[in-house]
Amino acid sequence: MDAISALQLLLLPAGALAVAGFARRMDWSAPLLLVLAGLIVSVIPGVPAYNLSPELVLLVFLPPLLYSAALDSSYLRLRELKRPIMLLSVGLVLFSALAIGLTAYLMIPGLALAAALALGAIVAPPDAVAAAAIGRKLGLPRRLMTLLIGESLFNDATALTVYRVAVGVIAGGSAGFLFGTGQFLYAAGIGLLIGMVIAYLAGWVLTRLTDALVANAFSLLIPYVAYLAAEVVHASGVISVVIVGIYLGHQMSNTAYGTRLLSRAVWQVVDYLLEAIVFALIGLQLLPLIEGLAGQNPWQVAGYAVVLFLVAITSRVLWLVPGTYLPWLVSKKIRGSEDRVPWPHVVVVAWAGMRGVVSLAAAFALPHTNLPQRDLLLFLTFAVVIGTLIIQGLSFPWLIRKLGVSNAQERFQDNLTEAAAQQAAAAAGLARLDELVAEGVPDVHEQVVEQLRTRSERVALQAWERLGGGTGQEGEETPSTVYKRLRREMLAAERMVFIQMRNQRRIDDEVLRRVMAELDFEEAILERD
């Protein structure tokens, strides 16, 4: 690779990070801005072509993004909502694939049924990255966030399995309903089994590693191992990665504290970089796809795109409304275990159907042989992805605010339960301190004991203060808020002294890094508290 090619390769992540950083600074949706920036840049003369490689997406980008999302999810909440999640990630994907595929087959002259169903499978699974980012920022209730994330974790496996069957038919194989069902069950079952084995082994290793750097370096390999181990035997690598991520996320509390502290930062950086590149890549595909449509009627192609976009949206609504309420109405068991879902929640989930890069990667992986309308299918996939990202993505925040869906009550309840837990934990810690003092632990000064008591009581009081403020008067700073504000000012002054002493050569850089790390860690604790 020459210097110019290397520079062109570097421009993509550098530009993506610049746009994503600007979006964070302006408090805008980074995925949407990245897609729009990619669309604009793609038509600028002289900009190098960044063709989307399906292998790059499915082997390099998808495993860590899935793993990170699974790691950050809640096994208990996913288990609690397994029925609606399966209705979304399996039932809805199959229904959407069938609706989109049959519409394309009936609408586009000469399109084979297998190719039409492959298109349906390609654009059926939503990518909840954008929706989850917006929902988290606007404070969607925990149940809705769990549904969106749970759906995105499993729906790719359903869609890619249907896609494999359809592509097998396109390539000249033969397949029927029983064959397709068998392949689906095999891919899901073996993927689940491989994921469970790797999850147990990886968990065993991580809980025994005390070096945070080694443990997190090892964790970067886990999603790739899980994905490739399943794909080698033609099982679902997606399911394997998701199972491993959910299990290890649940077991993370058993790892060393340093591993947990570093893990969050590592995966935040990985997510930020990969998501920025992925959404920028989506927008950059416009010009190559338009060039592939040479000789086709642009108005006819636009009509196909609009119809399929509408089918992708309406099929989600048509499945969600009866899928949400009919089981609750007809099943006494479900009514006894689940509350009736408020209609605004159904509307929010129905509109959170933004498609993503997995759809584009699957489209680009379509075979060149036996598929004369491949370029058309690529463009239609791109149109649905871009349409959902822009139209649904831009209107999603407005819809959430308009419907008044929020997690304010959950936040209050969380603060209440946290305060009670902090008080119980503080009581246990103080009781243990009293035991140690009573046992006559040597070299323990009364001043040290008093400092430990004060800190334990302060942490417990902070949790109660979050519920109402110092004396309850609006706008008044709580004692812990005043403490943090003043301590931050002190830390800034202390840092300046250390920096000046380093500049005057009175302390070495190594000493500066060590003391700065201690001050930074204390400030991080203040931010967390």
**Domain boundaries in the chain?**
3-45+53-408, 415-469, 483-529
pLDDT given at position 425: 78
Rounded to 5 degrees, what angle do the CA atoms 227, 228, 232 make? Answer: 125
pLDDT reported for residue 377: 92
Structure-block tokens of residue 458: 């302060």
Least confident of 50-54, 132-136, 250-254, 296-300: 132-136
Phi, psi of 421 (to 5 degrees): -65, -40
Q: Which residue has the tokens 């202390």?
A: 494
Mean pLDDT of 153-167: 84
Least trusted range by pLDDT, from 113-117, 227-231, 327-331: 327-331
In tens, the pLDDT along 169-212 reads 777 655 555 666 777 788 889 999 999 999 999 999 999 998 98
- CA angle centred on 411, ends 475 and 75, rounded to 5°: 155
Q: What is the Cα–Cα distance from 292 to 383, expressed in whole angstroms? A: 14
pTM of the complete model: 0.80
pLDDT band at 1 (very low <50, low <70, confident <90, very high): low
Q: How confident is the model over 485-499, as a mean pLDDT?
A: 85
Per the structure block, which two tokens stand in for 11?
Answer: 């421009």
Question: Residue 170's pLDDT is what?
Answer: 77
- Crossing angle of helices 30-42 and 257-283, in 10° steps, is 40
Mean pLDDT of the chain: 84
C-alpha to C-alpha distance for 285 and 36, rounded to whole angstroms: 12
**Mean pLDDT, residues 161-172:** 79
Q: What is the pLDDT of residues 110-153, one digit of tens each?
A: 898 889 999 999 999 988 666 777 777 777 888 888 898 888 88
Separation between Cα atoms, residue 475 and residue 503, nearest integer Å: 42
Q: How many helices (H) and strands (E) does the chain have?
A: 25, 0
Q: How far apart are CA 429 and CA 460, in angstroms?
A: 11
pLDDT digits (tens, 9 = 90+) for 66-118: 899 888 888 888 888 889 999 999 999 999 999 999 999 999 998 988 899 99
Contact 366, 118 (CB under 8 A): yes
Cα of 296 vs its chain's centroid, Å:
38
Q: Is residue 242 within 8 Å of residue 155, measured between CB atoms? A: no
Q: What is the pLDDT of residue 173?
A: 59
Average pLDDT of the residues in 462-476: 56
Task: Report in angstroms the alpha-carbon separations of 258 from 216, 253, 262, 425.
Answer: 10, 11, 6, 21
Q: Are 325 and 341 in contact (CB under 8 A)?
A: yes
**CATH code for the part of the protein at 3-45+53-408:** 1.20.1530.20
Q: Is the pLDDT of residue 32 over 50?
A: yes
